[in-house]
Amino acid sequence: MRLDYFTKADHGLQNIAKRRIKIARIKDLNDPFEFLPLRLPDKASRIGMREMKKLADKEYGIVCLSDNWQHPMMSSHYADRHNGICLAFDVVGTRPIIPISYTGNLLEAKDFKRKQLDDLTVTDFIET
C-alpha cells in the first residue's frame, strides 16, 4: 500500500537525509479537541476523558498519512499551504494502520458498542 506524507519542504529534505519522519505526540496536536470524541454528560466524565487522552499520549504517537497525494486539504494543512512536499512510502508488514473517520457530531458510549464510558479502553479511544 502506498501512503503519502505531507510536510514543509525543508523538513521533508531533512527527513530524506536522516531517513526518518516525525511521530507527533497526541498532546502536541493542533486541535485541542483531537482525541476527545465524546459527548460527555458531566464534568467528572470530561476529566476522565482527558486522563484517557494523557494515557494514550504516553503509549502512542501519530504519523499522519494519506492515500491520496493530490488531496488539496492535506497539502494545505500539512505541506506548508501547498508550498511543501509530499513523500510517498510503500508500506508493508507494519503495525496496523488505523484509518481516521471524521464525524459531524460527538460520539456517545453506545457508538463504541460499550454500555458505559468506564468500559472504554485506550484502544477504543484511539480507533474512533
pTM of the model: 0.69
What is the predicted pLDDT for the residue at 81?
87
What average pLDDT does the segment 46-72 reach? 86
The answer to whether residues 120 and 112 touch, using CB atoms and an 8 Å cutoff, is yes
Q: Please give the distance of CA 16 from its chain centroid, rounded to a whole number.
A: 22
What average pLDDT does the segment 81-90 reach? 90
What is the predicted pLDDT for the residue at 19?
93
Residue extents of the structural domains in the chain: 2-127
